[in-house]
């Protein structure tokens, strides 16, 4: 499969920006492709009904030293991170592999590689704290300030910080649900802009990086609306304001033409690492 290799200078810049102590907090939020549907397969139950189950296959890119990556549980406790990261957050449907664990493990490897090349001591562990918040099938209206999903995301992030972490970035993958009607598509851009501003205000972090994922949907019934949402996502990206975008267009999809495969989620995780490290190189 396609592998994205981080440049040494990018990884060094990100490592220099990292704290020596405490967790680096990354919010994982949006809808199902951030939550993770990679590796879900149809299985027939004892009663003859079909349902989705995760195949249990974890990409090798998720490998990390024990205790180096934690996730905040639904009960606001830190535990060892493992896929599916959103199993107790996005509970209405089965979850599988998303981009979050690949991102975290690959970020640590890039830093360890730089430290080794510069003969530095490896970072103290644990290093990264992931805060899963994504829920499948949700629209931008459900991520409005004052709504349950938005308020829970802010609360979970604040708890993570209070437990001894430093907010580093929001990884945001949402928009498919807003391509299902003209009204949703037309209002998507303004809602996204308000969301991005509210997140920074409520977390008191006006400049922290936000990396959004440009959506795709194969054989979409309303391609014009899909493109309208994608254009709004691109318009929201502004590196001078530390808002970035990576594009999922062209990554392999499952048979539903909507959800990324495990291979695609792995590639996306690496793309997110590259964009995150470029942020530090250009800041």
What number is the average pLDDT over the span 20-43?
A: 92
Structural domain count, the chain: 1
- On whether residue 1 sits in a domain, the answer given is no
Q: What is the number of helices (H) and of strands (E) in the chain?
A: 7, 9
The gap from C-alpha 49 to its chain's centroid, in whole angstroms, comes to 32
Q: Are 170 and 208 in contact, with CB atoms under 8 Å apart?
A: yes
- On whether residue 230 sits in a domain, the answer given is yes
Do you find a cis peptide bond into 205, omega within 30 degrees of 0? Answer: no
Tokens standing for 47? 């009663």
pLDDT in tens, 158-177: 999 999 999 999 999 999 99
Q: What are phi and psi of 131, to 5 degrees?
A: -115, 90
**Residue 5's pLDDT is what?**
37
pLDDT in tens, 131-161: 999 999 999 999 999 999 999 999 999 999 9
Strands (E), 23-116: 23-30, 40-44, 50-54, 69-72, 78-80
Handedness of CA 78, 66, 99, 243 (dihedral sign): positive
Tokens standing for 91? 């509970």
- 90/189 Cα distance (integer angstroms): 25
**Residue 207's pLDDT is what?**
93
Q: Does residue 7 carry a pLDDT above 60? A: no
Burial degree of 195 (CB within 10 A; 0-12, 13-18, 19+): buried
- 79/82 Cα distance (integer angstroms): 9
DSSP string, 242-263: TEEEEE-TTS-B-TTSSSBPHH
- On whether residue 14 sits in a domain, the answer given is no
What number is the average pLDDT over the span 100-117?
A: 83
**Residue 21's pLDDT is what?**
56
Q: Does residue 6 carry a pLDDT above 60? A: no
pLDDT in tens, 197-242: 999 999 999 999 999 999 999 999 999 999 999 999 999 999 999 9
Higher pLDDT, 36 or 116: 36
Is 256 noted as a catalytic residue in this protein?
yes
Burial degree of 256 (CB within 10 A; 0-12, 13-18, 19+): exposed
Higher pLDDT, 19 or 261: 261
- 56/61 Cα distance (integer angstroms): 15
Of all residues in the chain, the percent with pLDDT exceeding 90 is: 81
**Residue 283's pLDDT is what?**
66
**Residue 173's pLDDT is what?**
99
Q: Domain residues for 175? A: 21-41+50-282
The gap from C-alpha 218 to its chain's centroid, in whole angstroms, comes to 21
CATH of the domain at 75: 3.40.50.1110
Tokens standing for 102? 């690949």
The gap from C-alpha 2 to its chain's centroid, in whole angstroms, comes to 19
Q: What is the mean pLDDT of the chain?
A: 90
Tokens standing for 240? 């001078």
- 27/149 Cα distance (integer angstroms): 13
**Residue 22's pLDDT is what?**
81
- 157/72 Cα distance (integer angstroms): 9
What number is the average pLDDT over the span 82-95?
A: 97
- On whether residue 87 sits in a domain, the answer given is yes
Q: Does residue 14 carry a pLDDT above 60? A: no
Please identify which of the residues 86, 87, 259, 279 carries the catalytic annotation: 259
Higher pLDDT, 84 or 17: 84
- On whether residue 63 sits in a domain, the answer given is yes
**Residue 282's pLDDT is what?**
73
**Residue 3's pLDDT is what?**
39
Q: How confident is the model at residue 16 (pLDDT cuts 50, 70, 90)?
A: very low
Is 117 noted as a catalytic residue in this protein?
no
**Whose CA is closest to 149, among 94, 196, 89, 104?**
89
**Residue 111's pLDDT is what?**
84
- On whether residue 10 sits in a domain, the answer given is no
**Residue 123's pLDDT is what?**
55
- 248/264 Cα distance (integer angstroms): 8
Is 187 noted as a catalytic residue in this protein?
no
Please identify which of the residues 32, 68, 177, 205 carries the catalytic annotation: 32
**Residue 12's pLDDT is what?**
41
Please identify which of the residues 55, 88, 151, 256 carries the catalytic annotation: 256
Q: Does residue 15 carry a pLDDT above 80? A: no
What number is the average pLDDT over the span 187-194?
A: 98
- On whether residue 11 sits in a domain, the answer given is no
Q: Is 226 helix (H, G, I), strand (E, B) or coil?
A: helix
């Amino acid at each position: 499969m396609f592998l994205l290799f981080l440049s040494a200078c990018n990884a060094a810049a990100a490592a220099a920006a990292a704290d020596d102590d405490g967790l680096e907090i990354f919010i994982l939020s949006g809808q199902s492709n951030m939550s993770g549907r990679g590796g879900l397969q149809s299985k027939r139950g004892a009663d003859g009904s079909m349902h989705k189950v995760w195949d249990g296959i974890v990409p090798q890119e998720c490998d990390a030293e024990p205790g180096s990556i934690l996730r905040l549980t639904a009960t606001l406790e830190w535990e060892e991170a493992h896929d599916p990261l959103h199993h107790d957050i996005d509970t209405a449907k089965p979850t599988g592999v998303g981009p979050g664990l690949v991102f975290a493990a690959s970020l640590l490897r890039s830093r360890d590689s730089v430290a080794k090349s510069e003969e530095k001591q490896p970072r103290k562990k644990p290093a990264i704290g992931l805060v899963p918040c994504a829920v499948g099938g949700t629209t931008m209206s459900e991520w409005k300030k004052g709504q349950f999903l938005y308020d829970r995301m802010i609360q979970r992030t604040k708890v993570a910080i209070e437990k001894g972490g430093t907010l580093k970035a929001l990884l945001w993958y949402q928009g498919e649900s807003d391509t299902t009607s003209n009204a949703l598509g037309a209002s998507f851009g303004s809602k996204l802009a308000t969301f991005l501003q509210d997140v920074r205000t409520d977390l008191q972090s006006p400049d922290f990086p936000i990396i959004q994922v440009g959506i795709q949907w194969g054989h979409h019934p309303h391609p014009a609306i899909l493109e309208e949402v994608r254009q709004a996502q691109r318009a929201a990206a502004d590196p001078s304001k530390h808002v970035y975008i990576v594009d999922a267009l062209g990554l392999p999809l499952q048979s539903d033409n909507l959800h990324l495969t495990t291979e695609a989620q792995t590639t996306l995780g690496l793309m997110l690492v590259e964009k995150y490290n470029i942020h530090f190189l250009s800041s």
